[in-house]
Chains A and B, each alone.
Chain A
Amino acid sequence: MSLLQLEGISKRFGRVVVAEEITFQLEEGAWVGVVGPNGAGKTSLFSIISGDIKPDAGKLHFDGRNLLSMNAAARCRFGIGRTYQIPQPFEHMTVFENALLAAQQGARERGRESYARAFSSLERTGLAEFANRPAGTMGLLHRKRLELARALATDPRLLLLDEIAGGLTDLEVVELTAVIRDLHADGITILWIEHVVRALLSTVDRLLCLANGEIVADGEPRQVLASDAVRRVYLGGAIINEATAH
């Protein structure tokens, strides 16, 4: 059975369609990329899965359970972790407190276990040495890592990564990708929205392309990028040329 199942998920805000009959499944342990032009509905798709947005129609199941009857907090506890495109740390707390809160609330742990989980999530994302820094004082790379650490501390089975490589230098992207590869090796299923297509191509084993709230292509990453549907979406834009050149 698939870990995540979406069936006919639709959502509109007035006349803006953010999801139109979206149907796909994720197998446990998969690593899937999501691309699409701005406004294609990528982030909205994540919000529908994580519970920030309620779809107008469709079915959503995770590990056989109906997600639509759970609120965002319950979904997180049930194993869905998410990072935001623009990191949203609790700025007035230390890096460690950020992770600790996630471990106590998301993974439902108390005392020593929660401290250990919080610390290990910081270690895995390379933030251990910054544990006592106020999160608000961190730079972009570290904020992105903290976003990941916090999602990790909730003990997720599925991680939704929203442009976690956006705005980083090439070297930083490589470092962060290594961290994510490590998490995937531990069995965490990953759904990853990314504009940095190179980062995706070097890692994911399946690619979805969204446009106007619809899935226009789904399959092996290079084939998806080479497909006519995707070329039409991007109007032959730089994204394809850049990706195929490498």
Chain B
Amino acid sequence: MTWANILIQGALVGGFYALFACGLSLMFGVMKVINLAHGDIAVVAAYSAVFLVPKLHVAQLWAFLVVVPLFALIGYVVQRTLLQKAIDRDPFTTLLVTFGLSVVIENLLLEIYSANGQSVNIGELVAKSWQVNSVIYVSDVSLVVLGVAVLVLGALQLFLSRTSSGRLIRAVSDDREAAQLCGANYKHVFGVAAAIAFATVALAGIAFGISTEFDPTAGGINLLYAFEAVVIGGIGSLWGTLVGGILLGVAQQFGAHFNLEYQTLAGNALFLIVLAVRPQGLFGRRVSLNE
């Protein structure tokens, strides 16, 4: 029964990792930008839910209605200004710029909100859980987050494979130059992809803020988990990211079962094994962003 519990809890936390990671995967897949500020953007979204949303007289539970569209807009603008300028120079510049962005965000948050822990307050809902049997409890919030992750990844996959905007994103990620010669304004397409990435990471940030206490430095570790989920699943593959997230979650729960200190270690070990045995990730070839 313990093993079933490890699997279930691992899958639940894995859903969160996948939700967190899909924006990272998308930005890398389309723009070839590794966004080192990805985790910090999620943390800013969580702070927005705590401090900005109540000012608009909206309950924190409904924060995503405000924060997600706001971050989509921010994503578009950041891409068209800061990131596009970096891309125009060379790929390494994007690493430096996003790293710089990460440092700036962390320090601004420390300056404004101090290092005190915060959390998104959704009232009693956070404590609700569903008892499977005498050993296994499933937290409602985790279950909802897993459901949202599956929904978001599925919708994104459908959007990319079935709609003309999605086709355009795939074309630009395939060959920017050729897409331009077909009359596509790739910079706008990059903006749209960044908007989607920022929207999903904002959603993940709020989910994170609901389930855990966070502070301005929380972005780093989440970025690491997101990276691991993406690499385990295979870069550019959305379903791969979901599977990667879930495997990472299960590995961590497995480690934690023996000793709480082994939680992160077990995840890292899985990450290393995949990297050594199958560097393209589990779904690196079969299902890709450019399906």
Residues on B with C-beta less than 8 A from A190 are none
Residues on A with C-beta less than 8 A from B185 are 71, 73-74
Asked whether, in the complex, the Cβ of A88 is within 8 Å of the Cβ of B178, the reply is yes
Q: Report the tally of A-B residue pairs with Cβ distances under 8 A.
A: 75
Please measure, in the bound complex, the distance between the C-alpha atom of A92 and the C-alpha atom of B161, giving whole angstroms: 11
If A92-B170, A93-B167, A104-B164 touch, whether A154 touches B183 (CB-CB below 8 Å) is: yes
If A93-B167, A93-B174 touch, whether A150 touches B291 (CB-CB below 8 Å) is: no
Whether a CB of chain B sits under 8 angstroms from the CB of A107 is yes
List CB contacts (< 8 Å) of A56-101 with chain B. 71-74, 76-77, 81-82, 84, 88-93, 97, 100-101
When the two chains form the complex, which single residue of B164, B167, B180, B288 contacts A73, counting CB atoms closer than 8 Å? B180
Please measure, in the bound complex, the distance between the C-alpha atom of A132 and the C-alpha atom of B175, giving whole angstroms: 20
Instruction: State how many angstroms separate the Cβ of A45 from the closest Cβ of chain B.
Output: 15
Asked whether, in the complex, the Cβ of A90 is within 8 Å of the Cβ of B174, the reply is yes
Asked whether, in the complex, the Cβ of A73 is within 8 Å of the Cβ of B183, the reply is yes
Asked whether, in the complex, the Cβ of A72 is within 8 Å of the Cβ of B181, the reply is yes
From B174, which residue of chain A is reached at the shortest CB distance? A90
Whether a CB of chain B sits under 8 angstroms from the CB of A106 is yes
Asked whether, in the complex, the Cβ of B182 is within 8 Å of the Cβ of A101, the reply is yes
Q: Mark B165-176, 1 if CB is under 8 A from A, else 0.
A: 001101100110
Whether a CB of chain B sits under 8 angstroms from the CB of A105 is yes
Please measure, in the bound complex, the distance between the C-alpha atom of A154 and the C-alpha atom of B182, giving whole angstroms: 6
Residues on A with C-beta less than 8 A from B168 are 101, 104-105
Asked whether, in the complex, the Cβ of A107 is within 8 Å of the Cβ of B183, the reply is yes
Please measure, in the bound complex, the distance between the C-alpha atom of A239 and the C-alpha atom of B177, giving whole angstroms: 32
Please measure, in the bound complex, the distance between the C-alpha atom of A228 and the C-alpha atom of B175, giving whole angstroms: 42
Whether a CB of chain A sits under 8 angstroms from the CB of B186 is yes
Whether a CB of chain B sits under 8 angstroms from the CB of A50 is yes
Please measure, in the bound complex, the distance between the C-alpha atom of A10 and the C-alpha atom of B41, giving whole angstroms: 45
Asked whether, in the complex, the Cβ of A88 is within 8 Å of the Cβ of B177, the reply is yes
Asked whether, in the complex, the Cβ of A76 is within 8 Å of the Cβ of B170, the reply is no
Residues on A with C-beta less than 8 A from B186 are 73
Residues on B with C-beta less than 8 A from A102 are 182-183
Please measure, in the bound complex, the distance between the C-alpha atom of A141 and the C-alpha atom of B235, giving whole angstroms: 32
If A93-B170, A104-B164 touch, whether A88 touches B175 (CB-CB below 8 Å) is: yes
Residues on A with C-beta less than 8 A from B74 are none
List CB contacts (< 8 Å) of B228-258 with chain A. none
Instruction: State how many angstroms separate the Cβ of A245 from the closest Cβ of chain B.
Output: 36
Residues on A with C-beta less than 8 A from B121 are none
Asked whether, in the complex, the Cβ of B183 is within 8 Å of the Cβ of A90, the reply is no
Asked whether, in the complex, the Cβ of B290 is within 8 Å of the Cβ of A101, the reply is no
Please measure, in the bound complex, the distance between the C-alpha atom of A51 and the C-alpha atom of B182, giving whole angstroms: 12
Residues on B with C-beta less than 8 A from A74 are 185
Please measure, in the bound complex, the distance between the C-alpha atom of A93 and the C-alpha atom of B177, giving whole angstroms: 16
Whether a CB of chain B sits under 8 angstroms from the CB of A52 is yes
When the two chains form the complex, which single residue of A84, A101, A151 contacts B167, counting CB atoms closer than 8 Å? A101
Whether a CB of chain A sits under 8 angstroms from the CB of B66 is no
Please measure, in the bound complex, the distance between the C-alpha atom of A71 and the C-alpha atom of B167, giving whole angstroms: 21
Please measure, in the bound complex, the distance between the C-alpha atom of A92 and the C-alpha atom of B169, giving whole angstroms: 12
Whether a CB of chain B sits under 8 angstroms from the CB of A108 is yes
Residues on A with C-beta less than 8 A from B182 are 76, 101-102, 105-106, 150, 153-154
Please measure, in the bound complex, the distance between the C-alpha atom of A50 and the C-alpha atom of B291, giving whole angstroms: 29
Whether a CB of chain A sits under 8 angstroms from the CB of B126 is no
Q: Mark A106-132, 1 if CB is under 8 A from B, else 0.
A: 111000000000000000000000000
Q: Which residues of B contact A (CB under 8 A)?
A: 164, 167-168, 170-171, 174-175, 177-186, 288, 290-291
Q: Would you list the 5 A-B pairs with minimal beta carbon distance, nearest first?
A: A106-B183, A92-B290, A105-B183, A76-B183, A102-B182
